[in-house]
Structure 1
Amino acid sequence: MKMRFLALCTALAAATVLTGCSQWADSAAGRQKVTLWLMKGSASEDFIDRFTASFEQEHPGVDLDVRIQEWTGIGDKVNAVLKGTSREPADVIEVGNTQVAQYIETKGLSELTLEALREWDSKHWLKGLSEPASVNGAQYGVPWYAANRVVVYNKDLFANAGIKTPPKNRQEWIQATQKLDKGEQQGIYLAGQNWYVLAGFVWDEGGELAVETGGRWVGTLDDDKALAGMEFYKQLQALGDGPEAADEETPPQSQVFARGQVAQIIAPPGQAAEIEAANPALKGKLGFFPIPGKTSDKVGSVFTGGSDLIIPERTANREGAVDVITALVSEKWQTELARAMSYVPNRTTLAHVVEGNEGATNMAPGAAQGRATPASARWAEVEAKNPIKPYMTAVLTGQDPKQAARAASEEIGRVLSSDR
């Protein structure tokens, strides 16, 4: 990666930082600098090198300064840029799709509605990336890439059970998993607190995690539709030995699967590499299929993870920032990123570019109708407390679902609607 060192601010420039100037120019050379923050692991070093070289070649007189950021503590760093108190420049920032709402609340983001409509093909964006970045029809974040969960399965165990094709609907899925759940072999390893998976089942039933009513948020896990999603989760989870009081990382489900006696897990396709690293004997024996929906004509709903790109309102080089986003979301660089990182591109019209990558190909149908968590700036606080997890454990251990769901819903509503 091309590395550049920032010049020291003059006293005037230092004062300007506090008023929001984030683009520093090399006036002697007559060049402009655009600073792009990317999160660690989102793109390979090779991708960043090639993108930087291509962008600078196509934009003479512009230096693109790519800075890699850690996820830990990133919220405070981004907020400092948006408020104009940061001494580190940023003209374009990669943020998690579910984080955009909290940044919109700072009123420090540049609105990108017109560019989205005119230049970035927003009508085909993945909703799970675009909707959390929009408020009242105004767009503040631009989808960059998506990743979501699929079913990762052991081909040998499926073949031994006489299952020749992956299930296409919930009924077929349960029937296949029942066949696979025998002896020491688990039909599926599904931890009791994998709430992202539960969210998909809730959405399939027409339920929600929370809704905004009259300007206040209300948790809705105790709605009959949401309860139906939890009931299906319970039915599926029982066909394996997943812990009822832990999530998918305790222990890491990829490590459990790697032992060779688990037929399926629900995970991003990238976990296949972790499984093969832990057990090389499974290399070439892993398959993928979209999470089945209630009927065969529609795959199951999924939580869409991924990243959006934002431009701080205080940038002094909005035009250059827009140019960077235009390049990053172009078909060329969307294709390059998706193939290099096994991602789903940011819009449905590019789903074909991952053909040949089995994992990414099976992500794409779910991503096309993927969802995100409720678009509240306080949802991160819900996840920090996460009343959904103990609710799930309560149901799986025989407690009254309606009562447990009501308690979780009340806590969600308190967090989302309480004054800061």
Structure 2
Amino acid sequence: MKRKLIAAIGVAGMMIGLAACGSDDDGGDKKKSGADGFKGQTLTVWTMDGSTPDQWQKDLTAEFEKKTGAKVKFETQVWDGIQQKLTTALSEENPPDVFEIGNTQTPAYAKTGGLADLSDLKKGVGADWAENFNKATVVDGKQYAAPWWFANRVVVYNKAIFAEAGIKDIPKTRADLFAAFDKIKAKGKEPVYMPGQNWYFFDGLTIGKGAELVKKDGDKWVSNLSDPKIGEAMEIYKKYQSYSNAPKDKNEATPQQADVFSKGKTGAMIAMGWEAATAIKANPKLEKDLGYFTIPGETADKPEGVFLGGSNLAVAEGSKKQELAKEFLKLALSDKYEGQLAKLNGVIPNKESLNSNLTGNAVAEAAAPAAKFGGTTPLIPEWAAVENPPNPITTYMTAVLNGKSHADAAKQVEGELNKRLSQKQ
């Protein structure tokens, strides 16, 4: 899986806006009957770098143009600065007709009025979209986007180190995994690389506990960090971190955990697929020893909760070609093209029935079982400010790892968390 494709996961909470381009013709949705119902029109589609494989784009374009008589123009965007660019584009006269948007960004854009209502599309092609995937596309009961692709973390492990420690079977429960770590530690190796502020992994643990990071107080959102369930999730994180030599006040990018893992002296890391590729690039000899498995949960029948990063597809409220845009989405989100995207990019498709397309991709096969137990950060526009550095929740995490109680650490950052939640977007 390409690193650029998964970059959305790390930036999915930030919002702002810059300049745009839109369709290059002035025709609106003047539909006629038959295959050439939209003949003469051009649909502009913004997708992010790495999201649309060449073959997928080629096949979809050909079928779309044959079906509608219209042309489609894909314009590749980069994640750096896209929030600013898209915000401005949606306010202009000719916005992109269809565009890719980070799943956790969708509610904020919907609240500004920039996204068209796609409730009729949901009825037509989305009846069996995974409920937890679709959650990030619904705001105030209306469907403002369509779930497209997803990715989540897995255990990336060094087979040689596991074998040296006498570990023959893939851990099926969290207790099994910690027992494996104990054996690796006994051999003098670092069992897992787990810095103190791997925030998205911690968010997955809170999801696994059924905990909510925020709660409603009257008409505003406030911190729910003091919830005992969050404390339970933090205790699990603390156990993971106890097996690591990583700093307690840094995240997985400082230093890059893939670079640390590439040295071949660490048993495992909780990571995205692109991080495994980064480790292999740094140390090609490591490739033969790499393996992947689902992050195990408390019981063997339910994997650990995970943060689901990914993208939705949306239609601009200001687009003059909304009906044509919906015809595009019907094709792009069909089983044929959703399955093809999963197969080519190794991403989790929007319905579980399409997971067979992941067969043969070791990372995706390891990620898929946990995806249906995954979730996101709070789907509210106010959340964007929370993750701006320094994220107060990472401050809480480090405080607990350094000896503070859950309650005291939560109280320490609650004021800052509430201040950020009160900021207008």
Question: Which residue of structure 2 lines up, in the alignment, with residue 417 of structure 1?
Answer: 422
TM-superposed deviation, 1:394: 1.3
* Amino acid paired to 1:167: P
Partner of 2:65: 56
1:395 to 390, 393, 400: 400
For residues 139-163 of structure 1, the C-alpha deviation after alignment (integer angstroms, 9 at most, x for no partner) is: 1010110000011111111112121
Partner of 1:405: 410
Q: Give how far 1:22 is off.
A: 5.0
Residues 1:97 and 2:103 aligned together: yes
Does structure 1 retain, via aligned residues, the 8 Å contact 2:207–2:374?
no
> Residues 193 and 266 of structure 2 are in contact (CA less than 8 Å); yes or no, is this contact kept in structure 1?
yes
Q: Check the 8 A contact 2:45/2:98 in 1, yes or no.
A: yes
1:84-117 CA distance string (max 9 Å, x none):
x266x41001000010011011112111112102
Partner of 2:262: 258
Paired amino acid for 1:342: G
Shift of 1:313: 1.0
Q: Tell me the amino acid that sits aligned with residue 296 of structure 1.
A: A
For residues 56 and 177 of structure 2, the distance between their equivalents in structure 1, rounded to whole angstroms, comes to 38
CA contact (8 A) 2:152 2:307 kept: yes
Query: What corresponds to 1:70 in structure 2?
Result: 78
Q: What is the distance in 1 between the residues matched to 2:315 and 2:108?
A: 14
Contact 1:108 1:313 in 2 (8 A): yes
Question: How far 1:280 moved relative to its partner?
Answer: 1.1
The answer to which of 45-54 and 285-294 deviates more is: 45-54
Query: CA offset at residue 304 of structure 1?
Result: 0.2
* Equivalent AA in structure 1 for residue 171 of structure 2: P
CA contact (8 A) 1:91 1:318 kept: yes
Cα distance, 1:21–1:191 mapped onto 2, change above 3 Å: closer
Q: Could you tell which deviates more after superposition, 92-101 or 391-400? A: 391-400
- Counterpart residue type for residue 94 of structure 1: E
CA distance in 1, matches of 2:394, 2:250: 8
Distance 2:367 2:39 in 1: 45
1:205 Cα offset (Å): 2.1
Quick one: percent identity of the two aligned structures?
37
Give distance in 1, aligned partners of 2:403 and 2:22: 57
Contact 2:39 / 2:70 at 8 angstroms: preserved in 1? no
- Who is 2:25 aligned against? 24
Q: Is the 8 A contact 1:222 1:402 kept in 2?
A: yes
The separation in 1 between residues aligned to 2:215 and 2:89, in whole angstroms, is 30
Asked whether the equivalents of residues 93 and 318 of structure 2 are also in contact (C-alpha less than 8 Å), the reply is no
Instruction: Give the match for residue 335 of structure 2.
Output: 331
Which amino acid is the alignment partner of residue 198 of structure 1?
Answer: F
Quote the residue 1:3 is aligned against: none
Mapping for residues 8-157 of structure 1, pairs under 5 Å: 24-25=25-26, 31-59=40-68, 61-83=69-91, 85=92, 89-121=95-127, 123-125=128-130, 127=132, 129-157=133-161
1:296 partnered with 2:300: yes
Amino acid in structure 1 at the alignment position of 2:392: P
Moved more, 252-261 or 328-337: 328-337
Instruction: Return the alpha-carbon distance in structure 1 between the equivalents of residues 131 and 150 of structure 2.
Output: 8
Task: Supply the distance in 1 between the matched residues of 2:137 and 2:251 (Cα, whole angstroms).
Answer: 28
User: Which 10-residue stretch deviates more, 406-415 or 345-354?
Assistant: 406-415
Equivalence map 1:306-317=2 (5 Å): 306-317=310-321
SS in 1 for 2:161: helix
The 3-state SS of whatever aligns with 1:108 is coil
Count of residue correspondences: 396
- Counterpart of 1:7 in structure 2 is none
8 A Cα contact 1:120 1:326, kept in partner: no
Equivalents in 2 of 1:155, 1:203: separation in Å? 29
How far 1:166 sits from its partner (Å)?
Answer: 1.5
Answering whether residue 162 of structure 2 is matched by residue 161 of structure 1, we say no
- Give unpaired runs (5+ residues) of structure 2: 1-18, 29-37
> Could you tell which deviates more after superposition, 37-46 or 262-271?
37-46
Displacement after TM superposition at 1:284 (Å): 2.7
Q: Is the 8 A contact 2:22 2:97 kept in 1?
A: no
Shift of 1:414: 2.2
Deviation per residue, 1:366-396 (Å, 9 max, x gap): 1112101101112121111411112111111
Q: What displacement does 1:183 show? A: 5.4
Q: Matched residue of 1:241: which SS? A: coil
2:350 to 314, 323, 346: 346
If the length of structure 1 is used for normalisation, what is the TM-score? 0.89
Question: Contact between 2:258 and 2:275, CA under 8 Å: does it hold in 1?
Answer: yes
2:411 and 2:424 map into 1 onto residues whose CA distance is 21
The residue number in structure 2 matching 1:361 is: 365
Contact 2:46 2:100 in 1 (8 A): yes
**Alpha carbons of structure 1 residues 223 and 30: separation in structure 2 relative to 1, 3 Å:** closer
Secondary structure at 2:306 match in 1: coil
Contact 1:23 1:317 in 2 (8 A): no
The superposition leaves residues 219-251 of structure 1 with CA deviations (integer Å, 9 ceiling, x where unpaired) of: 122111101111110111110211111100111
2:246 match: 242
